[in-house]
Structure 1
Amino acid sequence: MRIPVQKQIVWWGVAAALLFATMWLLGQAILPFILGAGVAYLLDPVADRLERAGLSRTMSVVTISAIAVLLLVTIVLLVVPILVRQATSLVETAPEMFQKAQDILSARFPQLLPEGGNWDQALTELSDAFREQWSNVAQTVMSSVGGMISVVALLVIVPVVAFYLLLDWDRMVAEVDHLLPREHASTIRRLAREIDQALSGFVRGQGLVILILGTWYSIMLMLVGLPFGFFIGIMAAVLSFIPYVGVLIGGVTAIGVALFSFWGDPVWIAAVAAIFVTGQVVEGNYLQPKIVGGSVGLHPVWLLLALSVFGVLFGFVGMVAAVPLAATLGVLTRFMVERYRESALYTGQALPPEPGQPMLVEVVPRGTVETQIRNARWSADRERAQGMLQTMPEEHDRRSPE
């Protein structure tokens, strides 16, 4: 017997609620496993390609793991210290930059100064607030990541989880496919393919765009001699997944530092501006259309909303899972809109009733039914005649004594 649709919706709703409750209650504990699953998901196409090249699954995973560990160690030893040092120096130098901007405005545009205003106090409060915000962000990140699970545990558990999941990824996908409800298996497979296309297209494509832009901005800013150029370039590239936000924040910060460092030498200030203009032109006209594409289904506004909502609900774990959850919800929303447009609520016309049970029809030679009816009549007449013959002796016996 077919399970009613209403009951199926209730069951799937309960399953989704249990999933969100698990993320909320065990968020920090399952964070390494979420990160490990994400790494395995991103590296699975690479392992499949190595398998097609002739390597076994185990050798493919071992090769990928060795390269990934080498890259991670290189980044931790070479890149992270530079970023931390330049970010700290930029925060410490910010009050001096504001003070120099005040002196320039006071000398060249005295009419902009408010009467009786205290610029020193305002700039001091602004710099203190800026420094406090950076401190709060750093403390929040460190407390979120290193509260219940230390950074060492992340560095140990995530690679191990990613290694074993990547080793058995195809087998796990096949097993999950076998567990799908048979009635909805084709629909679930279709939605899973669309989610995979949206998620992989965005994450892998946007990651490559960030890598290219980060290399361009950081190297070019360092070549022109801009202080903190490496940190500003990486920051602008990381924020580039939101259109215009990365180039706006990075460009304003870079030009502000250039005005402070290259005042009186407009050539280098113009060079800094040209670096960001070139990066924006290349990103908008080549990188985004060619690498990310316009059909991945993750609009930047939708992604920002997902980051904000899941970050508030589940903390750092929610921010990590925001991208896959946003891709999933986007695909499900488009699927529901598609079903809505096929429904009577949208068309204004009632849907045709579901077909009833089929009638079994047996094909027989012509005249078969008439023959069966005739035989049935003969049998009935014969039985009736036999009954009459049996009743006649009985009636004769009852009349004979008289």
Structure 2
Amino acid sequence: MRGRAIIGLSILAVLVFLLYELREVMLPFVAGLALAYLLDPLADRLERLGLGRLAATLLILAGFVVGLVVVLIIVVPLAAGQIASLVNSLPTMVGKLQSILVERAGPLLQRIGGAEVVNELQSSVGTLVGQGGTWFLAFLKSLWTGSQALVSIASLLVVTPVVAFYVLHDWDRMIATLDGWVPPRHRPTARRLAGEIDGAVTGFVRGQSLVCLILGSFYAVGLFLVGLNFGVLIGMISGFLTFIPYVGTLTGFMLSVGVALVQWWPTGDWLHIGLTVGVFLVGQFLEGNVISPKLVGDSVGLHPVWLMFALLAFGSLFGFLGLLLAVPVAASIGVVVRFGIERYLESKIYRGDGPVLIGDSGNPTLPARD
């Protein structure tokens, strides 16, 4: 048992090391594998309708590529224009936000600590907001350069669809081969664990993807109708980050409130500021009570804290590749841990089977020493 554990941990360590070293090369392959995994149920349904596996695969991928191109043609120019406007307007917005904060907090602090405290606050706020703006610009620049380095045009248009085509076409054969490698006496357990992992991953990814799409559209349309500057961009960012629980809503809320204060505070337009806040309150209510319970449900088995840690940790280590792998790995670890706890609760170690001495009180006692 100890030897098997050492071998298994060694193989896992080698795989993690290779994944880290080849993370930039493996992205299109992992993306293609993920795409095939998500589209396999649709291919199975088309097969049941009478199409062959090859025809179903070609039809699905052709529809996916056409839909993706249409979305990119519509979304990318709009997002690029808003990002350029945001970058150009950021210094002015930072200065206005600094003035608003100092103006509102200054009188109170002046009564408490005098003019020196107000000057210190102004200097600190200016430094903090300025550093935040610099960090945001650097973050946008890193996203652009990183996406150029990691996701090349060849990867998007050639490698990923080709990998997805072959994997989707041979998916059932690959699963059957992996199942045949498992010793017969362990196959029921392996199939059970694989089914639970598949249910957790598909339940979260498909459901949460729809949640991101719905909320992103809602926030973008709502902020656009309110008249918020960069509302469509903030809405799309919020929807995209909703994949990480609570992060999308909080990020969008802080961005939108900051822009709303700069835009409408000087004129005393509290109505539009309240409408901006109301968009996120309604969106959060719909997400927590209607959208997520219907689309994701409670059977995913991934705790939000564990999921946030996995996404942030894998994203930090492996970049965009880590984001693709975070949910499957987190779901797999969760299923294995629950299985191990279940076996432990059924074991003799937990039940205490064996030669245990029972005293008069009915509690286990230690044998007396000579």
- Does the TM-score normalized on the shorter chain lie above 0.5? yes
Structure 2 partner of 1:280: 284
Aligned partner letter, 2:95: Q
Structure 2 partner of 1:329: 333
CA apart distance, 1:312? 4.2
Structure 2 partner of 1:159: 161
Structure 1 partner of 2:43: 47
Q: Deviations over 1:244-291 (max 9, x none)?
A: 332222122212222222332222222222211111111101111111
Alpha-carbon separation, structure 2, partners of 1:258 and 1:210: 23
Distance 1:97 1:131, change over 3 A: closer
* Structure 1: segments with no counterpart, 5+ residues: 352-402
Q: Kindly indicate whether residue 28 of structure 2 is the aligned counterpart of residue 28 of structure 1.
A: no
Alpha-carbon separation, structure 2, partners of 1:61 and 1:43: 9
Structure 2 partner of 1:198: 200
Identity %: 45
CA apart distance, 1:123? 5.0
- Contact between 2:97 and 2:258, CA under 8 Å: does it hold in 1? no
1:183-194 equivalences under 5 Å are 183-194=185-196
Structure 1 partner of 2:361: none
Structure 2 partner of 1:229: 231
My pick for the range that moved more, 147-156 or 297-306, is 147-156
Structure 2 partner of 1:305: 309
Q: Deviations over 1:277-310 (max 9, x none)?
A: 1111111011111110112111121112222333
Alpha-carbon separation, structure 2, partners of 1:293 and 1:102: 42
Structure 2 partner of 1:363: none
Alpha-carbon separation, structure 2, partners of 1:44 and 1:79: 27
Distance 1:284 1:210, change over 3 A: same
Q: Deviations over 1:136-174 (max 9, x none)?
A: 334444554443763433432111111111111112111
Alpha-carbon separation, structure 2, partners of 1:104 and 1:31: 44
My pick for the range that moved more, 115-124 or 32-41, is 115-124
Alpha-carbon separation, structure 1, partners of 2:269 and 2:159: 51
Q: TM-score, normalised by structure 2?
A: 0.85
Q: Kindly indicate whether residue 246 of structure 2 is the aligned counterpart of residue 244 of structure 1.
A: yes
Structure 2 partner of 1:346: 350
Distance 1:267 1:310, change over 3 A: closer
Q: Deviations over 1:175-205 (max 9, x none)?
A: 2111222232211111100000000000000
Distance 1:309 1:90, change over 3 A: same
Alpha-carbon separation, structure 2, partners of 1:105 and 1:315: 35
Q: Give the CA RMSD over aligned residues.
A: 2.5
Alpha-carbon separation, structure 2, partners of 1:80 and 1:331: 38
Structure 2 partner of 1:293: 297
Distance 1:28 1:106, change over 3 A: closer
Alpha-carbon separation, structure 1, partners of 2:333 and 2:56: 33
My pick for the range that moved more, 163-172 or 263-272, is 263-272
Q: TM-score, normalised by structure 1?
A: 0.79
Q: Deviations over 1:310-350 (max 9, x none)?
A: 33444443332111111111111111111111223322224
* Structure 2: segments with no counterpart, 5+ residues: 356-370
Q: 1:266 aligns with which of 270, 292, 298?
A: 270
Structure 2 partner of 1:96: 92
CA apart distance, 1:107? 5.2
1:135-146 equivalences under 5 Å are 135-142=137-144, 144-146=146-148
Aligned partner letter, 2:52: S
My pick for the range that moved more, 45-54 or 81-90, is 81-90
Alpha-carbon separation, structure 2, partners of 1:207 and 1:74: 18
Alpha-carbon separation, structure 2, partners of 1:98 and 1:113: 21
My pick for the range that moved more, 215-224 or 234-243, is 234-243
Alpha-carbon separation, structure 2, partners of 1:148 and 1:310: 16
Alpha-carbon separation, structure 2, partners of 1:58 and 1:137: 42
Q: Deviations over 1:33-70 (max 9, x none)?
A: 11100000011111112222232222222221122111
CA apart distance, 1:127? 4.2
| Rg larger in structure | 1
Structure 2 partner of 1:362: none
- Contact between 1:94 and 1:127, CA under 8 Å: does it hold in 2? no
Structure 2 partner of 1:129: 131
Matched pairs, number: 347
Q: Deviations over 1:231-253 (max 9, x none)?
A: 11111122223443322221222
Structure 2 partner of 1:354: none
Q: Deviations over 1:76-104 (max 9, x none)?
A: 22212322332343344333233334444
Q: 1:178 aligns with which of 180, 196, 217?
A: 180
Alpha-carbon separation, structure 1, partners of 2:259 and 2:59: 43
Structure 1 partner of 2:83: 87
Aligned-partner SS, 1:54:
coil
Distance 1:62 1:134, change over 3 A: same
Aligned partner letter, 2:247: V
Distance 1:248 1:166, change over 3 A: same
Alpha-carbon separation, structure 2, partners of 1:20 and 1:109: 50
